């Protein structure tokens, strides 16, 4: 896909088709485990979306994880209107932020402001599991 907006448009359609919470529904207070999350199989790995939607304070909130296959990236470096945090749980790879590439392994955390170019790639021989959280404040 050309950009992250396309990726999330397809993702949203897949979630609705699979019976996930309706688009625009407020994120509910809950503790979710992997079996409760929306599971999506992609050519680059398996994604779980735990939370997606508005909250009392945010126009957009999303939290999930991706088990990224060796040699893969979910998409080329991209930017979007949300801020984002990414936390590597296992595996090895590279995270790029504004053109700076950093080797990353378990415990590495990325923050990127809105509209900053960023991306992740698994450069290891094992899957790379990372958790991500992104949000946009209400206008």
- Taking a C-beta distance cutoff of 8 angstroms, is the pair 63, 132 a contact? yes
Local confidence band at 7 (pLDDT 50, 70, 90 cut-offs) = very low
CATH number for 44:
2.60.120.10
Give the model's pLDDT for residue 24: 74
Q: Is the pLDDT of residue 29 over 60?
A: yes
Percent of the chain at pLDDT > 70 equals 83
The pTM score is 0.83
Total domain count, the chain: 1
Q: Which residue has the tokens 């945010």?
A: 58
In angstroms, the Cα distances linking 44 to 5, 25, 139 are 17, 28, 34
Q: What does the mean pLDDT of the chain come to?
A: 88
Q: What is the mean pLDDT of residues 40-55?
A: 97
Percent of the chain at pLDDT > 90 equals 81
Which residues span the domain enclosing 78?
Answer: 4-137
Q: What is the pLDDT of residues 80-116, one digit of tens each?
A: 999 999 999 999 999 999 999 999 999 999 999 999 9
Q: Is the pLDDT of residue 38 over 50?
A: yes
Give the model's pLDDT for residue 22: 64
Closest CA to 74 of 89, 104, 53, 95: 95
Give the model's pLDDT for residue 23: 65
């Amino acid at each position: 896909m050309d950009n992250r907006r396309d990726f999330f448009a397809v993702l949203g359609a897949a979630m609705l088709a699979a019976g996930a919470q309706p688009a625009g529904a407020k994120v509910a207070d809950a503790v979710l485990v992997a079996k409760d999350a929306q599971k999506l199989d992609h050519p680059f790995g398996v994604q779980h979306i735990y939370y997606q939607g508005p909250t009392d304070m945010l126009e957009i909130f999303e939290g999930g994880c991706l088990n990224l296959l060796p040699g893969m990236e979910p998409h080329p470096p991209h930017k979007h209107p949300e801020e984002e945090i990414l936390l590597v749980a296992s595996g090895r790879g590279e995270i790029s932020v504004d053109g700076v590439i950093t080797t990353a392994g378990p415990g590495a955390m990325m923050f990127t402001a809105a509209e900053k170019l960023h991306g992740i790639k698994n450069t290891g021989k094992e899957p790379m599991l990372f958790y991500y959280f992104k949000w946009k404040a209400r206008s």
